[in-house]
């Protein structure tokens, strides 16, 4: 049976050397798996564009979440809620009580009042008109939009427009109706004109009316007079100017050239990559790095037994001795590249040699591949974790295990050349 001290030491050892191996995985994924990952992403996006049912359903859930939470989101951003209006509303053709904007009109249990409206085909020029007509929408009624304002491209455009509509009333502390961006409701209730009022109960339309924004009237018709179905038209209506938001998103996705995006991302990787460089060593330097791990906190098992206490120090070499050698060099320097190839021969067969570069001759995948071909081995990129762990300051350098710690040797290539000798690596203890 493995004792608890051995178990903890093995786990901590993996944590201590993780940056070396995690870096290997990271770079290997970039080099060997990036094309597959990009293809996978492109395939997913294409499925969405092709209206794959599962993905469209997921997107619709996002739209519902946005609709459900839109008021809270906008409140946090200082915009209380989205309250769009419809253009020019004349007096009703039939007698209906006028709404009072100060009162809240809400449906009964498991019900809600939905007002479907449009901002109009020219929402910018209709701003003042829509601001005035905002007072016709009583609080407690949920205003539903099918999509973005006509001619706009993003949700930010919608938020900014509605903020312009509501800023005056917000300053006066007036209550505002909640607004939903939910094109599915338009599809579900086959709404195509504004304004349309719907009394909904448990996800189904009980009654609806067109050309009217007085939700109190519709509420009374349903709850007091028990009327249902289509109650007719009580005023002028307009065609909904906004496009279906889901259809617009699908159209945008379908228009994307995913192959070109993938190729561009692949080509631009090295352009944006920031190499971790080390200056050339001006003199030889040899030092050692202890592999001692100090436990940062108490570690215990579910049964209450303590594996290790905060402040305990564990020498990882006592249980898990590394079997790798790191050769750190600048791949853009021919001398350092030659040094790395020569040094690898000294350690082959005894250790697993890993190459870490601080640069490339050119920032291209072709240059990266050529270096791997010359080394006849995988090439990794030096990262912060490895540099800091082994306190690397100059290149080229060798990191190798001794009996109970690591030895790090920074090599001055110019000095070697002047003395006419090479670096003969010492035997491992």
What integer is the mean pLDDT of 372-390? 93
For the stretch 329-351, pLDDT in tens is 999 999 999 999 999 999 888 89
Q: Does pTM top 0.95 for this prediction?
A: no
For the stretch 157-199, pLDDT in tens is 888 888 887 777 777 787 777 888 899 999 999 999 988 999 9
Nearest to 164 by CA among 149, 146, 153: 149
- In sign, the C-alpha dihedral spanning 180, 183, 184, 188 is positive
Residue with tokens 């179905």: 229
CA distance readout (Å), 188 to 185, 241, 244: 5, 18, 13
Burial class (CB in 10 A: 0-12, 13-18, 19+), 129: middle
For the stretch 49-65, pLDDT in tens is 444 344 434 444 444 44
Residue with the bigger pLDDT between 376 and 263: it is 376
Report the range of poorest mean pLDDT among 98-102, 221-225, 372-376, 403-407: 98-102
Most confident of 62-66, 112-116, 297-301: 112-116
**Going along 58-186, which residue ranges are E strands?**
111-116, 142-145, 179-181
Q: 187 is written with which tokens?
A: 């599809």
Query: What's the DSSP call for residue 351?
Result: B
Using the predicted structure, report yes or no on whether residue 67 has a pLDDT greater than 60.
no
For the stretch 127-158, pLDDT in tens is 776 676 667 777 788 889 898 887 777 888 88
What integer is the mean pLDDT of 319-329? 90
Using the predicted structure, report yes or no on whether residue 207 has a pLDDT greater than 90.
yes
What integer is the mean pLDDT of 212-231? 92
Q: 261 is written with which tokens?
A: 């995006």
Instruction: Give the 3-state secondary structure of 265-320.
Output: HHHHHHHHCCCCCCCECCCCEEEEEECEEECCCCEECCCCCEEECCCCEEEHHHCC
Q: For residue 327, what are the contacts with CB-CB under 8 A and spacing of at least 6?
A: 340, 343, 344, 353, 354, 355, 356, 396, 397, 398
Query: Which band of pLDDT confidence, cut at 50, 70 and 90, is reported for residue 275?
Result: very high
Q: How far is CA 117 from the centre of its chain?
A: 33
Q: Are strands 379-381 and 313-315 parallel, antiparallel or unpaired?
A: unpaired
For residue 336, what pLDDT is reported?
95
Burial class (CB in 10 A: 0-12, 13-18, 19+), 196: buried
Go through the domains of the chain in sequence order and give each one's CATH number. 53-241 (3.40.30), 275-419 (3.40.30)
For the stretch 10-31, pLDDT in tens is 444 444 444 444 444 433 333 3
Q: 117 is written with which tokens?
A: 């409206």
């Amino acid at each position: 049976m493995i004792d608890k001290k051995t178990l903890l030491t093995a786990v901590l050892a993996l944590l201590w050397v993780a940056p070396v191996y995690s870096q290997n995985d990271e770079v290997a994924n970039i080099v060997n798996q990036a094309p597959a990952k990009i293809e996978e992403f492109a395939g997913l996006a294409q499925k969405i564009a092709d209206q794959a049912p599962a993905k469209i359903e997921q997107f619709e859930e996002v739209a519902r979440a946005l609709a459900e939470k839109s008021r809270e989101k906008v409140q946090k951003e200082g915009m209380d809620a989205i309250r769009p209006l419809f253009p020019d509303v004349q007096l009703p053709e039939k007698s209906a009580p006028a709404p009072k904007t100060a009162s809240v009109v809400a449906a009964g249990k498991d019900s809600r009042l939905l007002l479907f409206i449009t901002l109009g085909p020219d929402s910018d020029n209709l701003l003042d008109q829509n601001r005035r007509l905002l007072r016709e929408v009583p609080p407690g009624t949920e205003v539903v939009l099918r999509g973005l304002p006509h001619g706009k491209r993003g949700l930010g455009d919608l938020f900014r427009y509605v903020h312009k509509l509501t800023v005056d009333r917000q300053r006066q502390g007036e209550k505002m109706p909640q607004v939903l961006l939910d094109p599915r409701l338009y599809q579900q209730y086959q709404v195509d004109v504004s304004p349309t009022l719907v009394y909904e109960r448990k996800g189904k339309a009980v009654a609806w009316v067109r050309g009217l924004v007085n939700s109190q009237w519709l509420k009374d018709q349903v709850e007091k007079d028990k009327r249902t179905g289509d109650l007719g038209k009580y005023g002028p209506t307009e065609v909904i100017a906004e496009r279906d938001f889901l259809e617009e998103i699908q159209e945008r996705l379908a228009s994307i050239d995913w192959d070109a995006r993938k190729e561009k991302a692949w080509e631009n990787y090295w352009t944006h990559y920031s190499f971790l460089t080390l200056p050339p060593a001006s003199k030889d330097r040899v030092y050692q790095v202890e592999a001692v791990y100090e436990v940062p906190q108490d570690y215990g098992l579910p049964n209450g037994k303590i594996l290790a206490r905060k402040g305990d120090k564990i020498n990882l070499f006592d249980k898990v001795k590394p079997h790798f050698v790191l050769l750190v060099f600048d791949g853009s320097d021919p001398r350092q590249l030659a040094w790395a190839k020569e040094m690898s021969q000294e350690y082959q067969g005894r250790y697993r040699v890993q190459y870490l570069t601080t640069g490339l001759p050119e920032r291209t995948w072709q240059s990266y591949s050529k270096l791997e071909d010359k080394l006849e081995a995988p090439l990794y990129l030096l990262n912060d974790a490895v540099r800091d762990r082994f306190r690397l300051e100059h290149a080229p350098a060798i990191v190798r295990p001794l009996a109970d710690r690591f030895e790090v040797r920074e090599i001055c290539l110019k000095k070697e050349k002047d003395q006419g000798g090479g670096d003969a690596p010492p035997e491992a203890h």
